[in-house]
């Protein structure tokens, strides 16, 4: 069974940055990328808020460039998922879906968090063409346009308020007649003249043409009436699910399933295991903050390995 100094589970900006730093430090990392190398950015079109690209960059291109940069320094890649881990002792035991097994002196987890979607027909096909789960990523593209947001918690209300910086009108669809969001967030939403709440309403179908989203078919839960609404954008504000199930409860998680890290460091509840990116960040969820945390995790892993070496010297 191959033994590695660093194994990185997950790719995306966090995982690739962690690999960049650890590979340049001569630690010969391996990235277990999963079945969607590059993460959520591979489903994004224009990225205009990542430094260094004055004209913007396509999400898939940004991830391809990061991967190529990492490969240049000798990182190994595995396009499979981790099925099981044993964190009870070091070196940690990693079992992959393809049957490969590894031992790891340190482990960096960058498996991200998946946005929750409604499961409507064509919903995934229209991501980047009018469907989005990230207002801070895509709001700029809806300047002076009409958008709809679905949800009733803090996430949806935050998304709706953010979108009013750009959109001419924001409709907030909620299947009930009361929000579960915090009172301050509700007050902020009700006092925003650009937001109109549409109660007791669920999206049933996304309407589109070759240019992208054009409207929605919605159901009123009280009258059972189905109507059509014109829109230029459809934003999902129903939360994210961190990809931590494979850990089987071996790391401390918060109440929403995100990995708990120690203060300002990426250290987890198990020494030698570090977390970076959206899997430990329910607040920022940006490519640049994920990349930064990947750098932190790599440096902490390097110093952890140095401390082991020093203790044996």
Clarify whether 295 is annotated catalytic. no
Domains 2-115+240-312 and 131-236 share a fold: yes
**Cβ contacts of 51 within 8 Å, gap of 6 or more:** 288
Domain extents for the chain?
A: 2-115+240-312, 131-236
Correct CATH for 131-236 of 3.50.50.60, 3.40.50.300, 3.20.20.370, 3.40.50.1820: 3.50.50.60
What is the pLDDT, as a whole number, of residue 45? 67
Q: Which architecture, in CATH terms, is 2-115+240-312?
A: 3-Layer(bba) Sandwich (3.50)
Q: How confident is the model at residue 43 (pLDDT cuts 50, 70, 90)?
A: low
Alpha carbon distance 78, 248 (integer Å):
22
Residue 287's SS3 state is: helix
The percentage of residues in the chain with a pLDDT greater than 90, rounded to a whole number, is 82
What is the pLDDT, as a whole number, of residue 25? 96
List pLDDT tens digits, range 172-189.
Answer: 999 999 999 889 999 999
Chain center to CA of 125: 18
Considering the candidates 61, 84, 96, 138, report the single residue annotated as catalytic.
138
Considering the candidates 46, 134, 232, 267, report the single residue annotated as catalytic.
134
What is the pLDDT, as a whole number, of residue 48? 84
| Count of other CB atoms within 10 angstroms of residue 246 | 17
Q: Indicate whether 298 pLDDT > 60.
A: yes
Clarify whether 138 is annotated catalytic. yes
What is the pLDDT, as a whole number, of residue 218? 97
Clarify whether 134 is annotated catalytic. yes
């Amino acid at each position: 069974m191959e033994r590695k100094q660093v194994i990185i589970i997950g790719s995306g900006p966090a995982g690739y940055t962690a690999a960049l730093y650890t590979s340049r430090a001569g630690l010969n990392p391996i990235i277990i990328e999963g079945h969607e190398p590059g993460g959520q950015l591979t489903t994004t079109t224009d990225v205009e808020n990542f430094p260094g690209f004055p004209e913007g960059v396509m999400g898939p291109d940004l991830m391809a460039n990061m991967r190529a940069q990492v490969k240049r320094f000798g990182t190994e890649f595995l396009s499979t998922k981790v099925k099981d881990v044993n964190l009870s002792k070091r070196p940690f035991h990693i079992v992959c879906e393809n049957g490969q097994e590894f031992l790891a002196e340190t482990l960096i987890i960058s498996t991200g968090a998946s946005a929750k979607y409604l499961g409507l027909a064509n919903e995934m096909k229209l991501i980047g063409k009018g469907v989005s789960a990230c207002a801070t990523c895509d709001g700029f593209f809806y300047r002076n346009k009409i958008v709809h947001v679905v949800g009733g918690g803090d996430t949806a209300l935050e998304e709706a308020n953010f979108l009013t910086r750009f959109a001419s009108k924001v409709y907030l669809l909620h299947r009930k007649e009361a929000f579960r969001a915090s009172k301050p967030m509700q007050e902020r939403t009700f006092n925003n003249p650009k937001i109109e709440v549409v109660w007791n309403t669920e999206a049933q179908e996304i309407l589109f043409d070759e240019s992208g989203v054009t409207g929605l078919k919605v159901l009123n839960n009280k009258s059972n009436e189905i109507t059509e609404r014109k829109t230029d954008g459809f934003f999902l504000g129903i939360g994210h699910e961190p990809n931590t199930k494979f850990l089987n409860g071996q790391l401390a998680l918060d109440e929403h399933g995100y990995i708990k890290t120690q203060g300002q460091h990426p250290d987890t509840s198990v020494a030698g295991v570090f977390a970076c990116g959206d899997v430990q960040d329910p607040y920022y969820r940006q490519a640049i903050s994920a990349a930064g945390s990947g750098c932190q995790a790599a440096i902490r892993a390097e110093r952890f390995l140095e401390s082991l070496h020093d203790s044996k010297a």
